[in-house]
Structure 1
Amino acid sequence: MPETGGVKLLGPADVRALAELLNLRPTKRLGQNFVIDGGTLRRIVRLAQVTPEDVVLEVGPGLGSLTLALLPEAAQVVAVEVDPVLAERLPVTVAEYAPEVAGRLRVVRADALRIGPEDLGVAPDALVANLPYNVAVPILLHLFAVLPSLRRGLVMVQAEVADRLTAQPGSKLYGVPSVKIAWFAEVRRAGSVGRSVFWPVPNVDSGLVALVRRDPPKTTASREEVFAVVDAAFAQRRKTLRAALAPWAGGAAGAERALRDAGIDPSARGERLTIEDFARIAEHRPGR
């Protein structure tokens, strides 16, 4: 049972014992893979640069592995858990393993895709989480949209998702996640994580992604308007922007006019454009 900041962390035997106690069978639907390696947990907290002043938001705390590593370093940890059994058990586990910092934990039983500031009761500074693989991108986009207090994040996601989030224009992996997250934050790969640190062992590797909030592009278009252009541009990514944006613009002629007015080559493809480019296109939508 490794320790961090004097707090006992959950090792492999602890995780399995808790799962047995709760009659828990991790489900793919909820993306439940629990970290059983103390070194990985300490690494995540270190890379997240959590300070004693931080209110940390953790999504999907599960059995509490990362929660226990975060509590000694933060002012408060707000853990959002959708599973009612896990949400009820987490304070008990923290009280048993880390009684001296148990008062810093606040558990919110909710779906992270539907929460807002009013559900948390506090304004979190940082997001640190092992995000469920199947909904990682929607969760990130939602939280950065509805929680303006979030200044940074360090999340563990499926390696492929990490690559897509951090892809740059011109890359084959550059797409909707890459562009939309750039509206909110500067993102970078912060490391890789192997499969053996999880129970059960997933069929994929994981990656760490660091995010630092940035100002959105200066534009007269709303975020929703810009994201609509992004969605249209990548719906058929092999098409030129003139063709891909035709439904959005009311026809190919309207798309070409909007692109030229925005200073974009109509024969280009979406993977070449930055979030600022998409914002300019949104400003010139016909009839806007």
Structure 2
Amino acid sequence: MVQPPDTAATAPLLSAADVRRLAAELDLRPTKQWGQNFVIDPNTIRRIVAAADLAPDEHVLEIGPGLGSLTLGLLDAAAAVTAVEIDPVTAARLPRTAGEFRPERAADLAVLHADALALSAEQIDAVRPPVAATGPTALVANLPYNVAVPVLLHALAELPGLRHGLVMVQEEVADRLAAPPGSRTYGVPSAKAAWYADVRKAGVIGTQVFWPAPRIHSGLVAFTRREPPVDSVARTDVFAVVDAAFAQRRKTLRAALASWAGSPALAEETLLAAGVDPKARGESLDIAAFARIAAHRPDASRRQGACA
């Protein structure tokens, strides 16, 4: 069972010495290829777990657990944890680390050696801890910096049971994910994340709590799942509009969507039908507006005729 709060608050977490000891044991040198920056400060782990606002009966998905710093904190707060790790060395060591530091909770941890960019619900279900009645309901992770956005979007797309979560990413990526329409940092990640969830920036993490220390600060991003703004159009169709609109940020939507619609004239017609000013730019639109544009796209015969 999950530890009561007073026990969880005092349970030992990995210290800087523990992290370096485990790394030395594994002859591990953190690599940029897998975005490995390990948290070495227990108080930062407690802060992340508290901000994640987990219920004690939740099944948590962790992506990129590394040596297990966050994993132990998640085991203290939730019923079960499934950790997805691409590095075979750290993936093989993690169950033993849980057994050493949380022997009474080790059976509630499942470790899946897999690429998070190709993760499926079936893979997770195949290793689900016995205590978990369903798939993951929360995502809490220190995401690899180099693939943070695609990993997050893939998880949201493939795992509709994820109701909420908290991820740590580069601070500038956190700003982009949480940016509202019209802001300087609003772009493709902001719009696509908004298709799935309400997203907000939940804090900043300094560099010295990591080993090796990154050059820039990290940001915490919290999300809460909600229904897509329009259910009559496919997500892939909406995302195609988003990609086209931001591929040429300086252009008006009439020009930026010309290839997507078939011609500038068809783009203008589509935008007007969707209630969007053809002279507007992509950064001014929310995800609902992109969905309306996708819903009014000219049919294939008209696009082919415009291009003939």
TM class by shorter chain equals over 0.9
> Which residue of structure 2 aligns with residue 129 of structure 1?
141
Are 2:259 and 1:243 equivalent residues in the alignment?
A: no
Of 179, 192, 196 in structure 2, the residue corresponding to residue 167 of structure 1 is 179
> Which residue of structure 2 aligns with residue 234 of structure 1?
246
Q: Secondary structure at the match of 1:260?
A: helix
Query: Which residue type is aligned with residue 81 of structure 1?
Result: E
> Which residue of structure 2 aligns with residue 85 of structure 1?
89
> Which residue of structure 2 aligns with residue 120 of structure 1?
124
Quick one: percent identity of the two aligned structures? 63
Number of aligned residues: 286
Q: Secondary structure at the match of 1:171?
A: coil
> Which residue of structure 2 aligns with residue 223 of structure 1?
235
- Conserved 8 A contact 1:60-1:82: yes
Give the Cα separation in 2 of the matches to 1:6 and 1:273. Answer: 47
Q: Once the 2 structures are TM-superposed, how far is the Cα of residue 6 of structure 1 from its aligned partner?
A: 4.6
Alpha-carbon RMSD: 1.1
- Conserved 8 A contact 2:169-2:219: yes
TM, length-normalised to structure 1: 0.97
Give the Cα separation in 2 of the matches to 1:150 and 1:188. Answer: 16
Structure 2 unaligned spans of 5+: 1-6, 129-134, 301-308
Query: Which residue type is aligned with residue 90 of structure 2?
Result: L
- Conserved 8 A contact 2:59-2:136: yes
Of 205, 209, 215 in structure 2, the residue corresponding to residue 193 of structure 1 is 205
> Which residue of structure 2 aligns with residue 75 of structure 1?
79
Of 139, 145, 150 in structure 2, the residue corresponding to residue 138 of structure 1 is 150
Give the Cα separation in 2 of the matches to 1:193 and 1:6. Answer: 22
TM, length-normalised to structure 2: 0.91
Give the Cα separation in 2 of the matches to 1:275 and 1:250. Answer: 22
- Conserved 8 A contact 1:219-1:279: no
Q: Once the 2 structures are TM-superposed, how far is the Cα of residue 5 of structure 1 from its aligned partner?
A: 4.0
Structure 1 unaligned spans of 5+: none
Give the Cα separation in 2 of the matches to 1:55 and 1:204. Answer: 31
Q: Secondary structure at the match of 1:99?
A: coil
Residues 116-161 of structure 1 deviation map (CA, whole Å, 9 limit, x = unaligned): 1110114101000000011111111111111111000011110000
Q: Once the 2 structures are TM-superposed, how far is the Cα of residue 4 of structure 1 from its aligned partner?
A: 4.3
Are 2:265 and 1:261 equivalent residues in the alignment?
A: no
Give the Cα separation in 2 of the matches to 1:169 and 1:251. Answer: 26
Give the Cα separation in 1 of the matches to 2:173 and 2:222. Answer: 13
For structure 1, which segment, 230-239 or 112-121, has the greater mean C-alpha deviation from structure 2 after superposition? 112-121
Give the Cα separation in 2 of the matches to 1:5 and 1:80. Answer: 25
- Conserved 8 A contact 2:230-2:292: no
Query: Which residue type is aligned with residue 118 of structure 1?
Result: E
> Which residue of structure 2 aligns with residue 203 of structure 1?
215
